[in-house]
Amino acid sequence: MLNLITLTEPRSPASEAYLSLRTNIEFSSLGRPLRTLLGASVDSTTDKSRALANLAVVMAQAGDQVILVDGDLRRPQQHEIFGLHSQGGLASWLTEGGSIPLQKTPVEGLQLLTAGPVPANPVALLNRARLEELLEELSRQADYVLVDAPPVLAVTDAALWASKVDGVILLVSAGSTRREQAQRAKAVLEKVHAHLLGAVLLNADKDATLSGYGA
């Protein structure tokens, strides 16, 4: 079994919090469609990849067709989390085209587009118009497309993704992400006119795990 708390401890407070997050996202989509979503961490202290993987799992378990995109072309982790190979993937597709190399995961209803080989210039790849083509095609194949990207304050990649998706969830880590960092990250996202759905607090004590949704 994958080492994700939503699979290993499905009745834990953390798993229930991911379910609540999924419900909040669903209600947020009543006013406008939210098919493509970016999980954007503020800094590198936040385990954003595992958080996105857990959210993808509960969405799939609820009956949604989900595609998780590892858009972190610098330090990709999703293929390791799900025990899949990383050949091809997003970087290769953006360069070469062809059919989108989705892989099935052990979780029914959840597919993964790995990052692929780490490119020399990730920003140049993500600046291509084909990125919008990718998101449009994936949104036709799934109820939700979740994108994992590098931290907002580290590089510009997350801002590039944020400008192209339907909504952004800002991930912050209790005890390590500083308030001024979160404010700076929010300002970066607002500058690219991202639709910020809210903030999620990770690594809080078990009575407050994933608290703070809604901005």
Given a cut of 90, is residue 209 above it in pLDDT?
no
Domain assignment of residue 29, yes or no: yes
Given a cut of 70, is residue 214 above it in pLDDT?
no
- Degrees to nearest 5, angle at CA 150 with 211 and 21: 25
Domain assignment of residue 210, yes or no: no
Q: Which residue in the block uniquely carries the two structure tokens 């936040």?
A: 46
pLDDT digits (tens, 9 = 90+) for 59-110: 999 999 999 999 999 999 999 999 999 988 999 999 988 899 999 999 999 9
In what helix (H) or strand (E) does residue 55 lie, and over which residues does it extend? helix 48-61
pTM: 0.92
Domain assignment of residue 212, yes or no: no
Residues of the domain holding 51:
5-202
Domain assignment of residue 213, yes or no: no
Selected residue with higher pLDDT from 175 and 53? 53
Residue 2 CA to residue 82 CA, distance in Å, equals 7
CATH number of the domain to which 116 belongs: 3.40.50.300
Residue 177 banded pLDDT, cuts 50, 70, 90? confident
Kindly tell me the number of DSSP H helices and DSSP E strands found in the chain. Answer: 9, 7
Helices (H), 67-129: 78-81, 89-96, 122-126
Domain assignment of residue 160, yes or no: yes
Mean pLDDT is lowest, of 19-28, 72-81, 144-153, 162-171, for 19-28
Domain assignment of residue 208, yes or no: no
